């Protein structure tokens, strides 16, 4: 005799909001001998193959998904402390509600008279940010391929909290 039992699917994961406070540490100077960079951060969702989405709204899972979050610009500061900001984890993590989905952070120098200068980039996850915050380890920035910035600097995670939406 066979007994069939119905197993209900697990409940959907609760959407999460990530609140983070980041400080730049010894960011590269892109404003010449007598200047100091005016840095800001941009956060990008990554495609399944690791490539970045372009800087515009794209469609995902039937809805619009904004792939970029941006901090305010901090003028003349190689060690900027950005205001705490938040993002919806599944939107930044390409629809993945898990804390181990990768996303990209880029650091830029704001320029008023010309195109903004690239300082550096890193790819990370919410889990890695939580670990690095607990261990007081910085996220090291990388230069772009073929770039000439030997020490782009790093990002310190001062606080990070994951909340249910």
The whole-number pLDDT of residue 62 equals: 37
Dihedral (C-alpha) 52, 58, 61, 65: value to the nearest 10 degrees? 90
Per the domain annotation, does 128 fall within a domain?
A: yes
CA distances from 11 to 15, 88, 102, 138 (A): 12, 19, 23, 35
| 51-93 residue pLDDT tens | 665 543 333 333 333 446 899 999 999 999 999 989 888 878 7
Per the domain annotation, does 1 fall within a domain?
A: no
| 28-62 residue pLDDT tens | 999 887 789 999 999 988 776 666 655 433 333 33
Per the domain annotation, does 2 fall within a domain?
A: no
Q: Using an 8 Å Cβ cutoff, are 23 and 136 in contact? A: no
| 99-141 residue pLDDT tens | 888 889 999 999 988 899 999 999 999 999 999 999 999 999 9
Q: Does the CA dihedral 135-141-142-148 come out positive or negative?
A: negative
Domain holding 91, by residue range, is 16-164
CATH number at residue 157: 2.60.40.150
Per the domain annotation, does 6 fall within a domain?
A: no
């Amino acid at each position: 005799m066979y007994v069939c039992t119905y197993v209900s699917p697990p409940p959907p994961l609760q959407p999460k909001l990530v609140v983070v406070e980041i400080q730049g540490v010894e960011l590269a100077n892109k404003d010449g001998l007598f200047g100091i960079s005016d840095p800001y951060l941009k956060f990008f969702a990554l495609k399944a193959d690791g490539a970045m989405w372009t800087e515009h709204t794209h469609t995902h899972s039937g809805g619009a998904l904004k792939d970029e979050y941006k901090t305010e610009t901090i003028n003349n500061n190689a060690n900027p402390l950005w205001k705490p900001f938040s993002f919806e984890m599944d939107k930044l993590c390409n629809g993945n509600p898990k804390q181990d989905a990768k996303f990209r952070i880029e650091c830029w120098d704001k320029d008023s008279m010309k195109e903004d200068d690239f300082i550096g980039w890193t790819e990370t996850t919410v889990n890695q940010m939580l670990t690095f915050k607990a261990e007081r380890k910085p996220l090291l920035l990388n230069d772009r391929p073929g770039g000439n910035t030997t020490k782009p600097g790093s990002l310190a995670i001062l606080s990070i909290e994951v909340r249910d939406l």
